[in-house]
Structure 1
């Protein structure tokens, strides 16, 4: 008897986000213009080995830097897991890092801070949640949102 597991949470970007917004944010960030702290993640593709780029919002929280995936288990999260590290780029400068995925039990306060800072941008991907959500609600949502703790290597 096969055990069925539910598909991982993914909120795929629409055409406008993928073809216009992500490209604009990436273009601006690569020229040193950051929208509310956005940067470009450059990570090796797990299947092709090619560098894949995605705009991200690095979060500084309690002396650590995190990447949160508001759209869930998307391609950059799979690639980052496989690579174990990547580079955050802003302007002409990139910083290499290693990444460790944060266990669900540690995510609530990180998600709370992420929502506090970027709810205006990513709130639609966290239905019913905000920075004032009870810890239990954030803990219940935690498996849907990968979070990585970064350690810079340069």
Structure 2
């Protein structure tokens, strides 16, 4: 995916993410979403965003919902990231997958992360939310594997 392809997120997304992350940090939301924190690629300051990882064959993955999203570009530049869920924190390496490896994971995404379907519809990336529509996003939407950091 070229960095030139950017979809502008809705105006309310960043404020809503901040509220959602606060709720998650308080432990109100227990399962599913996590807070991903990576250093900013220019400032080096920690940047956080909510994500919903999913597991396939014992490995955890996350999909970038907007081509060119800041968190995706920061994750590409970072050596390590932090995943937080409630009081639990873990350091991970964000390994971006090439399109061929991303396709089957994107195909499984609507089943494994049903809350992500409406998000991707609202972004204009899919219309109906069928697995083949998600699979077609390979190379356009980043897919990362979250490996434990040593």
What interval of TM-score do these two structures reach, taking the shorter chain for normalisation? Answer: 0.7 to 0.9
Q: Tell me the CA shift for residue 35 of structure 1.
A: 7.4
* CA displacement 1:21-57 (0-9 Å, x = unmatched): 2112111111123376111111111111100011111
Matches within 5 A, 1:44-55: 44-55=39-50
Indicate whether 1:57 and 2:57 are aligned: no
Matches within 5 A, 1:24-63: 24-34=19-29, 37-63=32-58
RMSD: 2.3
Residue of structure 2 equivalent to 1:149: 145
- From 9, 12, 21, give the equivalent of 1:16: 12
Structure 1: which 5+ residue stretches go unaligned? Answer: none
Q: Rg: which structure is higher?
A: 1
Q: How many aligned positions are there?
A: 146
Structure 2: which 5+ residue stretches go unaligned? Answer: none
TM-score, normalised by the number of residues in structure 1? 0.82
Q: In 1, distance between residues paired with 2:48 and 2:128?
A: 28
